Amino acid sequence: MMTSIEVTLVTGRSLAQGIALEKGKLSEDYLKNVAVVELDENDLRRLGISEGDTVKVKTKFGEVVVKAIKSREPHPGIAFIPMGPWASLVVDPSTEGSGMPTLKGIHAEISPTKEPVMNPVEILRRVYNLTKKIPPMDPAEVVVVKEETKRIEKHVTCAFCGSLCDDLEVVISGGRIIDVRKACALGRSKILHAHENRILSAYIRKNGELVKADLKEAIRHAAKILVNADYPLLYGWSSTSVEAIKLGLELAEILGGAFDNTSVICHGPSIQALQEVGLVTCTLGQVKNYADLIIYWGCNPLHAHPRHLARYTVLSRGVYVKSRKERKFVVVDVRQTSTARAADLFIKVRPNEDYELLSA
């Protein structure tokens, strides 16, 4: 029995991670589906462990304890941890100016352990030394409206991912969403759980403790912090409306501060390349109507953007390319994924050798 194995670590989205994310990062479902490492069956055997046993994943950037689960697809020597607090402990925190940490091709060592898996709150306290209390989640307040019949809202847009599916149907009864139709598992989870795990009250920190405050008092307190700041950073915004973002930009200009949003974490390199080199691209409509060759490189849309294939690419019905039979579907990745299994051709590239393959 080996005490440890060396693997290449890959992180990214998974369907289970996305569904659990919308149930709340403090939920048991999130801990169960994200604090895991997917290993090939042979690698589990090499470690002498069974599915569900805890292992320690170590890289030069850190270490974390997670549960080992057997991957559905064979990829010996490749370990996968879903994006989340646990993956963040073992990836390179330095983004080299791009805003994007290295999420793939990381050398890691995995060994069995009896140590427990930390939940997100424990990670904040033990790893990041956050001693301040986290605001409590208020029970969901749902306004119950007397309705004898169900109401269906059509052409609803899903805001989970960039696909922005706009054909959803939401079933409402008693002032509450009770069902979502035509959505993928991620969109359905987002909409059905939108009313849960919300902080419905304003809080102000006094003497190190968070206490509830009147909304007007909280706004005055926030304004005081902003006015007294030398160079405030207004960060976030990705889950809010365009109108709110517009006001945020105006506020940053008035304060002489900086404005940024969370897309720099996933699209920092994209924007950098666009500014320095330029970008050759097309619309999703052009792909749907004209493309007879579809290549997904280093991604797993069936887990990250589940309806992407059906709405825009391989399975979509275009004006000039009308069926799946008229399209060639290729996937390039370091491991076999659900998307790779559905492809006409899967090209398995060695970790960190994408450039060599592209320029061959």
Q: Which residue has the tokens 């060396």?
A: 6
Query: Mean pLDDT, to the nearest integer, of 249-265?
Result: 91
Query: Mean pLDDT, to the nearest integer, of 121-146?
Result: 71
* pLDDT surpassing 80 at residue 266: no
Q: How far apart are CA 305 and CA 164, in angstroms?
A: 10
Q: What is the pLDDT of residues 83-121, one digit of tens each?
A: 999 999 999 887 766 666 677 889 999 999 999 999 999
Q: What is the pLDDT of residues 169-224, one digit of tens each?
A: 999 988 789 999 999 999 999 999 988 877 888 999 888 788 899 999 999 999 99
Render 269-338 in DSSP notation, one character per residue: HHHHHHHHT------HHHHHHH-SEEEEES--HHHHSTTHHHHHSTT---SSS-SGGG-EEEEEESS--H
Q: What is the pLDDT of residues 303-334, one digit of tens each?
A: 999 999 999 999 999 999 999 999 999 999 99
> Going along 18-175, which residue ranges are E strands?
36-39, 54-59, 62-70, 78-82, 106-112, 151-156, 168-173
Task: Identify residue 116 by its one-letter amino acid code.
Answer: P
Q: What is the pLDDT of residues 13-67, one digit of tens each?
A: 999 999 999 998 989 999 999 999 999 999 999 999 999 999 999 999 999 999 9
Domain at 5-126, CATH class = mainly beta
* Domain-wise residue ranges, the chain: 5-126, 151-192, 229-278, 284-358
Q: How far apart are CA 94 and CA 75, in angstroms?
A: 27
Query: Residue 50's beta-bridge partner residues?
Result: none
Q: How far is CA 298 from CA 84, 104, 349, in A?
A: 19, 9, 9
Asked if residues 256 and 276 have their Cβ atoms less than 8 Å apart, the reply is no
Q: Which residue has the tokens 């709150």?
A: 121
Query: What's the pLDDT at 246?
Result: 97
Q: How far apart are CA 39 and CA 66, in angstroms?
A: 12
Rounded to 5°, angle at Cα 341 from 337 and 344 = 130
* pLDDT surpassing 90 at residue 240: no
Query: What's the pLDDT at 135?
Result: 65
